[in-house]
Structures are given as structure tokens and as C-alpha cells.
Amino acid sequence: MSSYFTDLAQQYIDGEWRPGTGSWDIIDFNPYDGEKLASITIATVDEVDEAYQAAARAQKQWADTNPYARREVFEKALGLIKEREQEITDVIIAELGGTRVKAGFELHLAKEFLREAIHLSLRPEGRIIPSPIDGKENRVYRVPVGVVGVISPFNFPFLLSIKSVAPALALGNGVVLKPHQNTPITGGTLVAKIFEDAGLPKGLLNVVVTDIAEIGDAFIEHPIPKVISFTGSDKVGRHVATVTASHFKRSVLELGGNSAIVVLDDADIDYAVDAAVFSRYVHQGQVCMAANRVLVDRSIADEFTEKFVAKVKSLKVGDPRDPETVIGPVINSSQADALASTVEQAIAEGATALVRGETTDNLVSPSVLTGIPAGSALLHQEVFGPVAFLIPVDGEEEAVRVVNDTPYGLSGAVHTASVERGVNFAKRIDTGMFHVNDGTVHDEPIVPFGGEKSSGVGRLNGETMLDSFTTLKWISVQHGRSRFPF
């Protein structure tokens, strides 16, 4: 594993591994024990330009490559991930503080998305459209956009980089990837290494490890990329959307959430407890789909609360390398401090801590809070960590109102003995995704993934990748002579 943090602590531009030329280094730390994993000299605006220029040069020939040949790269990449699964697992644990369960979940999905990319290579189809003009043939071609810029987050960096990078490449585009500063290897150069070893032509995929303090908006303003795929906070996403729109670019934005899991009066309480605990505390709650809010019908609230609190207290907190650990560290000290402040603010506003977690360095133990005042800003924002808000509700109508009372609309879940009651409930929620009798955290390669309101714009996965990473071109053919009015 250590060789990854040594060999891949570089920029990857035009098929070459090289140091950045910036004046400072990004230091990559293990969030659990503070060990220095790597030091990477940042990329400058000039290197961002070189990366985009390389992608543009390589893209034309790649787009002309037979899609049956293109898909071989993804088949090989899938095989390499399988071969290197243990090493990649160790990297995820070290760089993210992810538990072994989380690493397994991320790798499973990454492989599934690569399998989908293999099929996606063959998905684009043209059409012949009728014309009102005699002798005219209208052909509509689906073509690559050209070059895609991808900005990936720190929480599932390997998966969420591959999720945009692989389909963009499969559909004939070039790509420049900028991983999060806290996960430059897992979300950036490790992805590049796998595709390099899989035989992807030089220049098609480039990785720049840098920071906006160095490059400003150069990554999203650059004239070459026609689409920016961004996964991260809604605050940054709003800025990305504004800048890209002003430059007539398309943006695909997968942003934050404030999801709720709802337990109705006829739910299987034990099952709902398991679903709620997973939905809130998976990967320390650092998941955009995580259930910040747990809504429970008041008629069963006492029983549910007792069982929920007991299960939360049983979660092992500690070293993510330990297979028994459920809660590892959050990504950095800023996140840990923000979570401690969230709990303090809730209690100051009158909430009751049924479980009050402690913070030791980046280890944040789970908290369960109830009695948060209805007007509290905490109920309307994303809490990116192991803090659950338990909210009793009086019936289904109040549950719908409370779930929708947020600027976000990403995911959610409802538990009920009646599937159709659950589906009807789901239809009334303003989200891009909602689940009946399950958790809130789900992703599948062919199902449209994305949110409403401040949770994003556009969709990823399956057929929606065509809308995100290709464009339509109309070519008409006039058979015989056309008639002109003058």
C-alpha cells in the first residue's frame, strides 16, 4: 500500500507522471492517526491548461475508435480492480478513514459502474427523423461532448471519480479529473493508474491535484471542457453552476442532502431501527444520502427510540483497520469541530441528547438528539457526520410536511407494512430518489441518480449518462434539388 502513496503522489498529465510546479504542497494525512501519507506539489493554472489540451488532442482519435475496441479498456480496468482489491481497500482505509465494510461497499459499486461503462460504450444510437420536405433525410447523431472536467469529493472518492470518469470515456470523451485535496490518491491518481495499466491511450485521462487557492476558477472556466461534473456541497455547487452557465457550459451537479427516514405507525420496528442506524451512521454519516432526520410516528416512538438508542450505543468506534469498527474518523479536524458545535448548538436550543458522542481528535462518537425546536436551522441543513435528529410526528400528513421542509431533495425512505402506502407517501416527497422499506443510502448503475431543489441538477447512471456526456447533432441530406424562394 505504501507504494501507492509514494509512486502516485504526482500529477498525471498527457500520460506522464510528474511533479506539480506550484509553490506549495498538499499534505495527505491519515485522518485516524495523523500519519503523513504523501506530499504532492500542487498543479498550477498552466498545468490545468496542459491537462485540458492533452485531453482535447487525444479525444478526436478516441471518439473515432470502434466502440467495441474502446470497451476493452473498461474490461481490463475491471480486472485490475479485482486483482488489486486488497491494496485498494487498504488505501481507502488509510486515506479516508473508511472502515472495511465501507471500503467493500465502495469497491463493489465501483466494479458495478465499470461493468455498466463496458455496455455504455455501445449505447449511443442515431435516428432518422421524418421531414415535411420531399426528398429530405434528417439524421440525428449522438456524439461525445469532447472533454469533460470531473471534480470528485472526499467521502467516496474512488467510486465517485469512476462514476463520472468511466462513462465519459466510454462515450468517447477525454477527461480531466480534479480530486478533493483530502483524497488525492484514492479519488485521483489511483484512478489514473488503473486506466493507464488498462491500456487507455495517453492524454485521454489527466489528473490535476490542486487547490482553488492556487488556480481559482481556472478548472471550470477553461474553454476546452464542455461539461463539468461536480460532486460536493451545494454551496460550491451553486458557484460551479454560476460560472459554467456564464461560459455556456453544461454542469452535472450531485450535491448535498438532508434526507429523512420515516417510520409509520404500522412499520416493522426492529427492521426500521436497523435501516435507520445504517442510513445515519454508514461511513460516519459522511454520505450525501445519509438520514440526518429520523421521523417516527408518535404511537410507536417510545419503543423505536429505546431500540434505536440501544443499537447506536453498541456501535464500535475506533481504528478503521479493525474489522469490528463501525465508526471510524471523520475526514479532518474541521469536520470534527463542526460536528461538536452542531451538538452543542442543538442542546443550547433546548434539544435533549439521548446519546452524546465525544470527540477525540477526528474520532466523533455517535450522537442522538431529540426535542430540536421546529424552527431550528439545524433541521434544514446537511449534517455531515454521526449525529441523528429523532423527530416524533403525529401521523402521515405531518410526516410529509416535515420531510419536505428543507431546501434539499436528494434521498429518503419510509417504513410501513403496506407497500402501496409507502409508494403513495414517496410520491408526495420532493426528492429525486425515495425508498420503501429500506435505507436511504443506495446507488445502482442503471437507475437515474440525482436530486431536486438544492441537491443538484441533472442525473447520472444508465441512460442518463448519454444526456450528461454526449450531445445531439442534426445532419440533413437533400436527395434531389431543393427549391429556394429567391
pLDDT band of residue 1 (cuts 50, 70, 90) is low
pLDDT band of residue 10 (cuts 50, 70, 90) is very high
Q: What angle do the packed helices 85-96 and 100-120 form, to 10 degrees?
A: 120
- By CB atoms closer than 10 A (0-12, 13-18, 19+), residue 116 is buried
Element (H, E) at 69: helix 67-83
CB 483 within 8 A of CB 133: no
Q: Are strands 412-415 and 408-409 parallel, antiparallel or unpaired?
A: unpaired
Per-residue model confidence (pLDDT) at position 2 = 66
| 148 lies in the same domain as 281 | no
| 128 lies in the same domain as 69 | yes
Grid coordinates given for 341: 458545535
| 67 lies in the same domain as 198 | yes
Q: Residue 480 falls within a domain, yes or no?
A: no
| 23 lies in the same domain as 37 | yes
C-alpha 395/C-alpha 298 separation (Å) is 8
| 224 lies in the same domain as 101 | yes
Per-residue model confidence (pLDDT) at position 291 = 98
- Asked if pLDDT for residue 458 goes beyond 70, the answer is yes
pLDDT band of residue 109 (cuts 50, 70, 90) is very high
pLDDT band of residue 40 (cuts 50, 70, 90) is very high
Q: What is the mean pLDDT of the chain?
A: 97
Reported as a single tens digit per residue, the pLDDT across 44-91 is 999 999 999 999 999 999 999 999 999 999 999 999 999 999 999 999
- The domain total for the chain is 2
The total number of residues shown for the chain amounts to: 486
Q: Residue 479 falls within a domain, yes or no?
A: no
Q: Residue 130 falls within a domain, yes or no?
A: yes
Per-residue model confidence (pLDDT) at position 407 = 97
* Single-letter amino acid code for the residue at 13: I
The position carrying cell 441512460 is 463
Q: Residue 446 falls within a domain, yes or no?
A: no
Q: Residue 484 falls within a domain, yes or no?
A: no
CA dihedral 90, 96, 97, 101 (to 10 degrees): -60
- Our answer to whether residue 254 is catalytic in this structure is yes
Residue 173: strand, helix, or coil: coil
- Asked if pLDDT for residue 476 goes beyond 80, the answer is yes
Instruction: Report the share of the chain in percent with pLDDT over 70.
Output: 100
CB 200 within 8 A of CB 168: no
Catalytic residue among 50, 95, 116, 288: 288
- Asked if pLDDT for residue 468 goes beyond 80, the answer is yes
C-alpha 59/C-alpha 285 separation (Å) is 38
Reported as a single tens digit per residue, the pLDDT across 281-312 is 999 999 999 999 999 999 999 999 999 999 99
| 228 lies in the same domain as 298 | no
C-alpha 456/C-alpha 228 separation (Å) is 13
Q: Mean pLDDT throughout 108-134?
A: 96
C-alpha 238/C-alpha 248 separation (Å) is 15
Catalytic residue among 50, 112, 254, 396: 254
Query: Which 8-state DSSP code applies to residue 132?
Result: S
| 337 lies in the same domain as 389 | yes
pLDDT band of residue 130 (cuts 50, 70, 90) is very high
Q: Mean pLDDT throughout 127-153?
A: 97
User: For residue 123, what is the domain's CATH number?
Assistant: 3.40.605.10
Domain hosting residue 226, numbered range: 2-255+455-474
- Our answer to whether residue 288 is catalytic in this structure is yes
User: For residue 356, what is the domain's CATH number?
Assistant: 3.40.309.10
Report the predicted TM-score, pTM, of the whole model to 2 decimal places.
0.96
